[in-house]
Chain A
Amino acid sequence: MSSLNKIYHFLMKDIQVEARRGFEVLASIGFISAASLILAEVAVKSFTPQFVIPGLWIIVVFIAIFTATTTFVREMDKRTIYGVRLLPVSPSIIFLSKMMFSFILILLQGGVSLFIIAVFSGQLYMLSVNVIFVLIVLALHVSAIASFTSALVMYSEGRAFLIPMLVFILTIPVIPLATTISDPAIPSYMTEYVMFLGQVAVTLIVMTILSEYILKS
């Protein structure tokens, strides 16, 4: 069976399990929607629309923190991690499957947040291709970090503290670039796009390589 096939079956299993725990996703979307509404309302009332874009990316980071608790950490809590680790599958495939799963969750919730902020703050430029492109790339970036963090701390007793700290610290460096290239009020150049994409690509490669070692040991 090809690696892509294995990733597909692993991903479908995760989606099926998550769908059966729909209340968690719905609760998360509810909280994210509330946070987005508050952000939009504050931006309108205080005449500070320039904060909506960085605010959206901070919300995406918080979604990543939530997602980190649903990947490897949940497998460890439920002891299903033993079944995963006994499969004749390379750790990279397991990591990439989990990353794809996180990507879908983050993109779904980030999309809801983007829509609510754009509509309720009246900043409809946020629904442009440029912002949606940044959202997709950023979701990929934070999903790699969330999955890596989840794999790294799943055996740790202090993971409730470690997950938010690590995800926050590892994702923050990319937020200024994401803001620069997605906010029309800030002039941005091709160099910044290249730097943004480069940073995401390096993160993906480094996280995949490190996760191979972590999941093996």
Chain B
Amino acid sequence: MCFINAPLNRSSSPHRISDPVFDVDTVVQAIDIWKRYRGRWVLKSLSLEVGDSSLTAILGRNGVGKTTFIKILCGLVRPTKGKIFIYGENIHRGQGDYKATLGVLMHENILYEELTVEENLNYYAKMYGVDDPLSSAPAKEAYELLGLEKYRDTKVGHLSFGWKKRANIVRSLINDPLLVIMDEPTSGLDEQATGEVARLLEKLSSNKTIIFTISNKEDLDILLEKGIKPDIYRLENGRLIEYV
């Protein structure tokens, strides 16, 4: 695992996979992650290694710790024990440089309900140092594919759960991230929208590393039918098991 200690040149962001500074083939490494929550071990010695431009699905029932793992993976929650490296940076110890390369879709809506979809996207674009939120090719693709145009001027608080989810998906791609982490991207979506998300995941996986969770076996089947071929793991009893 020589990449762990490899210094990164982060002179510009967001970085592209073709950048010579990322001469590594492992993007995410979770080592022996344990998490105790309200007196219960949610994650027990969980380890995961994800390579470049790969697509990884984590399947698990509600309450098994998928969201907790996603939050730990993107640095929002500290594990009780264990380490996470993203592009060689220990995310719970470093300066947070990895955030510029990361796009995250949370299970909850994290857009401001008082602002319109467009205002939210503009705000996040500015905070990522981008003038136009749709200047990022994946964000534009998601925006068009998911049909968000018609709700551009609608306040997020007035959108249904499914449309909020779509808006959050576009938000997660605004910075043209190298690593996309999505917590249940298909939950609350109808079959057609799930198909659109599958198409999006397929397109994104050609040059991005994607990790997503899913709780519904039927949704996973829809994704597989659409031709995406993720490495699938099942989260069970706090551990990841390869799913066949």
Contacts and interface: CB of A to CB of B under 8 A. Distances in A.
Nearest to B129: A1
Interface string A50-93: 00000000000000000000000000001110110111111000
Q: How large is the interface on A (under 10, 10 to 19, 20 to 34, 35 or more residues)?
A: 20 to 34
Interface string A8-26: 0110010011001100000
B3 interface: no
B106 interface: yes
Contacts, number: 62
Contact of B110 (A17, A83, A217): A83
A111 to B, nearest CB: 25
A60 B14 CA distance: 43
B108 A79 contact: yes
A86 B99 contact: yes
Interface in B182-210: none
A16 B119 contact: yes
B115 A16 contact: yes
Q: DSSP majority for the A interface?
A: helix
Contacts of B41: none
Nearest to B175: A88
A87 B127 contact: yes
Contacts of B126: 1, 9
Contacts of B68: none
Interface string B111-147: 1111100010001101111000000000000000000
B112 A13 contact: yes
A159 interface: no
B241 to A, nearest CB: 28
A87 B99 contact: yes
A86 B106 CA distance: 11
Contacts of B112: 13, 17, 78, 80
Return the 8 tightest CB-CB contacts between A and B, nearest first.
Answer: A20-B114, A83-B110, A88-B99, A88-B100, A79-B108, A1-B129, A9-B126, A17-B114
